[in-house]
A and B are shown apart, each in its own frame.
Chain A
Amino acid sequence: GAGVSQTPSNKVTEKGKYVELRCDPISGHTALYWYRQSLGQGPEFLIYFQGTGAADDSGLPNDRFFAVRPEGSVSTLKIQRTERGDSAVYLCASRSTSGTGELFFGEGSRLTVL
């Protein structure tokens, strides 16, 4: 696609529920990143994929968070047993590993856990 696409743009859920957030990167971009951003803060790294594999998942806060990218394109961030502290904007970004390495972001998915 022309840009990084994230769905849903907004998600309101209840504490304890399961949530999936989807990211469709720019076509041909092999590197995909998930970040989390709280109000007034910079993006916080969660996980980085190179192709289908998670090259670095050191930013995932705990085992309730999991992400997949089975075909090396679309990625899904999965959050189990959501907590109020998970409320944030979840940002996805992609970049080509050739060329300049410029990072491109989607508009984000705003998650609110009640």
Chain B
Amino acid sequence: KQEVTQIPAALSVPEGENLVLNCSFTDSAIYNLQWFRQDPGKGLTSLLLIQSSQREQTSGRLNASLDKSSGRSTLYIAASQPGDSATYLCAVTGNQFYFGTGTSLTVIP
């Protein structure tokens, strides 16, 4: 069974810092990897999707990379803002979507 791990579980940074969130998975036979944001009491908002044939995707201040052979993905957030505070989840797709437990990010003004 696919196991997805996210490190760190929580992260607190001052506004303006660049940061990296990590996601690792045990089975490299994936179709896609998707990063989500979840605000307290809300559903999941899709941020970026990387298809298995791709190495990275960018959207605004976000950049996600994928290394299937090593079972790793990173989400890079540039110039962090207090509005970026949320829980960030990664999910890998095999026959279903497998989620990590998320990284809770706090950006301090």
A interface list, Cβ under 8 A from B = 4, 6, 33, 35, 40-45, 48, 56, 59, 91, 93, 100-108, 110
Contact = CB atoms under 8 A, between A and B. Distances in A.
Contacts, number: 59
Contact of B34 (A6, A35, A103, A106): A103
A43 B42 CA distance: 12
B76 interface: no
Contact of B99 (A43, A48, A107): A43
B63 interface: no
Contacts of A100: 32, 49, 51
A4 B46 CA distance: 13
Could you tell me the dominant secondary structure of chain B's interface residues?
strand
B71 interface: no
Interface in B19-41: 31-32, 34, 36, 41
Interface of B: 4, 31-32, 34, 36, 41-46, 49, 51, 89, 91, 93, 95-102
A102 to B, nearest CB: 5
Contacts of B91: 43, 103
Counting from the closest, the 10 A-B pairs by CB-CB distance are A42-B99, A105-B44, A107-B43, A105-B43, A42-B101, A102-B49, A43-B99, A108-B43, A45-B96, A106-B43
